[in-house]
Amino acid sequence: MRRRLETIEEALANKWTIDINNCWIWNRAIKSSGYGTQWFKGKLWPAHRLMYICKFGEPPPNYDICHTCNVKLCINPRHLYAGTRLDNMQQSVREGRAGKVLTAYQVRLIRGLLQSIKFGVPAYTSNKLIGELFGVSYKTIELIQKNVTWSGYAG
C-alpha cells in the first residue's frame, strides 16, 4: 500500500530540475494547458500553486499564481507571485504571450452581440461562436460578458 503524502514538501520533493535560468522545471504530470500537476490530499493541484502555498501560504481568494519567468512548468517560488486574473492577462499582453488583443471597437461589437442574445435576437447564439467571429476564445467573450475584462469600458 502506498503511503499518503502528508505535506506539500513531500508531494513536490525531487520532481523538478533546475535549468540555466534558475527555473525549477516540473518533470512529472503535465496538463494539456502546459502546467504541471500534482495530487495532494485527494485533489489534483497545479504544481506551481502548491509550491506557492508551501512557501508563502494561501493566496487571496480568486487569485492566480503567476510566473515572472513566463515558464508554465516553473515552480521556483522566486518566480511566482499571486495576482488577479486581470494582472495575469495584462502581463501576458505586455510580454507578447497573449493571443489576439481586442480593440475598443471590437468590444463594443461583442457587447452588442451579447445584448442581442439577451433579448432573443439569434444573431450569434453562443460565446463560442462570437469568439470564433473575433478570433478569440469563448473564455475571452465570457470575461467581457461578466465585466472581468474591459469592465471600465461602457462601450
* Inter-residue contact 59 to 82 (CB < 8 Å): yes
Instruction: Assess whether pLDDT exceeds 90 at residue 59.
Output: yes
Q: Cα–Cα distances in Å, from 116 out to 60, 102, 113, 120?
A: 36, 20, 5, 6
Q: Which residue has the higher pLDDT, 59 or 91?
A: 59
Highest mean pLDDT: which range of 42-46, 93-97, 113-117, 148-152: 42-46
pLDDT of residue 151: 63
The DSSP call for residue 120 is T
The residue with cell 516553473 is 74
| Domain locations along the chain | 8-94, 104-145
pLDDT of residue 26: 94
Q: Which fold has domain 8-94?
A: Homing Intron 3 (I-Ppo) Encoded Endonuclease; Chain A (3.90.75)
Quick: pLDDT tens for 17-43. Answer: 999 999 999 999 998 788 999 999 999
Q: Which residue has the higher pLDDT, 127 or 50?
A: 50
Whether the predicted model's global pTM rises above the 0.75 cut: no
Parallel, antiparallel or unpaired: strands 37-40 and 43-46: antiparallel
